[in-house]
Structure 1
Amino acid sequence: MTGYQSSSASRVASRACALALGGMIVGAMAPAIAAEDYRPDPNQTAIEADGGESFFGSAMDYVANNTYGRLGVLHFHYYGSSTDLHVDNATGLAAQAFGPGGSDLDGTGSSAGNKTSLGGVIGLYLPKTNHHLAVEVLLAPPLKLDFQVSGDAVDQSLAPTALNGANGQTIPTGVPPLGRNIGTFKALPPNFTLVYRPWVDTMVEPYIGAGAMYLYTYDTDVNNTVLNELGEPELYLNKPVACVGQLGADLNLPNNMFLNADVKYIGCADVESRVNDIQVNSPTLSPTFGPVDVGSVSSTNEFRAVIYQVSFGMRF
């Protein structure tokens, strides 16, 4: 427990914060919160937990007086690896360019862009741990990230030639490279971590944590000009649960304020991506044979990312 004394203004703010936090975690925490865990300030009146309603009030008061929050700048940096792009089932002209059936496009892959945004954390010290243990929830607005291709897919045509000419030579398709960005998607990655602080009465409080993140994505959009020339394909991303490792430190300031630096590693998850209904125009072949119906192209990412965060915080 820190040596800083809460002011009455902080207690008022804490109750407002508790209403937001309590709905998420007080139900899970309530069995562990006994009446003796709540130690009111001299100007507060103790609430006896002798009934359902008073127990709930005591639990809410515990949350209000054992909560902290921080707000600052968040940077999401992705550095995962990917399998080669895979054409699932090429037919027609696409089979002439990629080979019939499924085939891998060597030297290619997929990735996600980086993003800087505002980000915050709400934490709750666990009962009977003297502030050594806490649970934290990362809060951030939806991150709009770029869905990208990598390797040869960026600056080389994936189907430079197709068919056989009269003398056995291939015919250039004129299909241009895709470029790096294929589309966008929004990520709303809720994550929960359990944090351990070995020292809680020092000016600098380091901590370590572990938890899980649900890689929830939505609102996908393919906006690549080559892929959209004959109609917009559909981007699909699965939504696995990833593991989270956390390191950070608080620098304590007067009046229950503190500065924070935090790093979260996210991994242990495979993200499958698929772009469906792909049709591309071949300037040399499409006027005669029609569009090249590629169908679906997929890849699997070994998801690895780091979230860096610098924040200003307040204990309530």
Structure 2
Amino acid sequence: MIHQNKPARRRLSQHAAKLLGGASLMLLAGTAFAQSTSQNAQTDTVEDKGSLLHQVFEYTKNNSYFRVGVLHFQYYGTSSRLKVENAQGLAAQGFGSGESRLDHTGSSTGNITTLGGTFGMYIPKTGKHLAMEVTLAPPLKLDFEVSKNAIDESLAPETNNGLETGIPPLGQSIGTLKALPPNLTIVYRPWVDTMFQPYIGAGAMYLYTYDTDVNNEVLNAYGNEPTLNLTKPVACVGQLGMDMKLTEKMFLTADVKYVGCAEVEAKVNNIVVNAPNLSPTVGPINVGTVSSTNDFKAVLYQLSFGMHF
């Protein structure tokens, strides 16, 4: 067996020698190329000034800016009527079996004022007329609200056979949510050397929401912990603004962004309510799920102080 394996071992050694030889030649060629490149470089420093990473760093340092200021979120969206799904027992008598729409109702979100920041970078070879901007803000804690008749009227005042339920109105606030809506826009400045520099932009925003909490007293009457779920679409952004130059490095900005072209579906699940006129006899009323579809429209107003790097 040993003698029969010698030719195979010999062939394996020959292949290994060829591979090592090839690798040695490649290494020698690479070394020679590196030495040639080093000799032809225009700088004698250790750092390679022509490296892509260094070029990106230098460009970013000399062609970017940031601004920080006050950001106000104002919601202008509209909503479909509240829809009740999967109501059971006596709730099905009040809301209807299967699913039903509640007239003159809807949902909305609250407004908030906070800090906001923007990082911008001029696009190469555009003479600083075009720039990319990313606007960020701390997590926005917003109220999730019902609207119209849902605020001060009972959603199910009586059953189909005329029995009064005693279910109270919900009030305006249903719960809270946190939003972290990063947005990216491309802006165009027709004038870049004047004191006042108006601009226009367009882009997209990711409507990311999390950490939802239903804290409405009516919906939490039985401690059943209903949940709030919202879809997370991408919205379009339109932007108008004006920079006012203070010094070579500092400026003030007034900026307005319109956010739209998106639908957000909101669902409050696992709703169990107290019907004072009925619950002592039949217990809690299982409403199921209440949902709405919001045509998302909002405006972000921002006043900020900026600096060029």
Matches for 1:56-95 after TM superposition, within 5 Å: 56-95=53-92
Q: Which residue of 2 aligns with 1:195?
A: 187
Q: Partner letter of residue 283 of structure 2? A: G
Secondary structure class of the residue paired with 1:225: coil
Normalization by structure 1: what TM-score?
0.82
Q: Which residue of 1 aligns with 2:98?
A: 101
Q: Deviations over 1:187-233 (max 9, x none)?
A: 00010000000000100000000000000000000000000111220
Matches for 1:162-177 after TM superposition, within 5 Å: 162=159, 164=161, 170-177=162-169
Following superposition, the deviation at residue 121 of structure 1 comes to: 0.3
Q: Deviations over 1:53-96 (max 9, x none)?
A: 72211111110111100000000000100000000122211111
Give every structure 1 segment of 4 or more consecutive aligned residues whose post-TM-superposition deviation is greater than 3 Å: 45-48, 50-53
Q: Which residue of 1 aligns with 2:178?
A: 186
Change in CA separation of 1:84 and 1:46 when aligned onto 2, cut-off 3 Å: farther
Matches for 1:131-142 after TM superposition, within 5 Å: 131-142=128-139
Q: Which residue of 2 aligns with 1:210?
A: 202
CA–CA distance in structure 1, aligned partners of residues 43 and 101 of structure 2: 68
Q: Which residue of 2 aligns with 1:114?
A: 111
Any conservation in 1 of the 2:208–2:232 contact (CA below 8 Å)? yes
Following superposition, the deviation at residue 46 of structure 1 comes to: 8.4
Gaps of 5+ in 1: 1-44, 165-169
Any conservation in 1 of the 2:43–2:49 contact (CA below 8 Å)? no
Change in CA separation of 1:162 and 1:46 when aligned onto 2, cut-off 3 Å: farther
Any conservation in 2 of the 1:213–1:241 contact (CA below 8 Å)? yes
CA–CA distance in structure 2, aligned partners of residues 62 and 189 of structure 1: 28
Report whether the alignment pairs 1:258 with 2:251: yes
Secondary structure class of the residue paired with 1:100: coil
RMSD of aligned residue pairs (Cα, Å): 1.8
Q: Which residue of 1 aligns with 2:305?
A: 312
CA–CA distance in structure 2, aligned partners of residues 52 and 293 of structure 1: 70
CA–CA distance in structure 2, aligned partners of residues 306 and 52 of structure 1: 44
Q: Which residue of 2 aligns with 1:249?
A: 242
CA–CA distance in structure 2, aligned partners of residues 214 and 47 of structure 1: 47
CA–CA distance in structure 2, aligned partners of residues 55 and 265 of structure 1: 37
Secondary structure class of the residue paired with 2:257: strand
CA–CA distance in structure 1, aligned partners of residues 107 and 91 of structure 2: 21
CA–CA distance in structure 2, aligned partners of residues 158 and 145 of structure 1: 24
CA–CA distance in structure 2, aligned partners of residues 163 and 148 of structure 1: 27
Q: Partner letter of residue 172 of structure 2? A: R
Gaps of 5+ in 2: 1-41
Following superposition, the deviation at residue 100 of structure 1 comes to: 1.4
Give identity over the alignment, percent: 65
Any conservation in 2 of the 1:47–1:58 contact (CA below 8 Å)? no
Secondary structure class of the residue paired with 2:99: strand
Any conservation in 2 of the 1:47–1:57 contact (CA below 8 Å)? no
Q: Which residue of 2 aligns with 1:278?
A: 271
Change in CA separation of 1:70 and 1:90 when aligned onto 2, cut-off 3 Å: same
Any conservation in 1 of the 2:49–2:55 contact (CA below 8 Å)? no
Question: How many residues end up aligned between the 2 structures?
Answer: 266
Normalization by structure 2: what TM-score?
0.83
CA–CA distance in structure 1, aligned partners of residues 44 and 307 of structure 2: 25
Change in CA separation of 1:314 and 1:289 when aligned onto 2, cut-off 3 Å: same
Q: Which residue of 2 aligns with 1:229?
A: 221
Q: Which residue of 2 aligns with 1:31?
A: none
Secondary structure class of the residue paired with 2:275: coil
Q: Which has the larger radius of gyration?
A: 2
Q: Deviations over 1:275-302 (max 9, x none)?
A: 0000000111011111110000110000
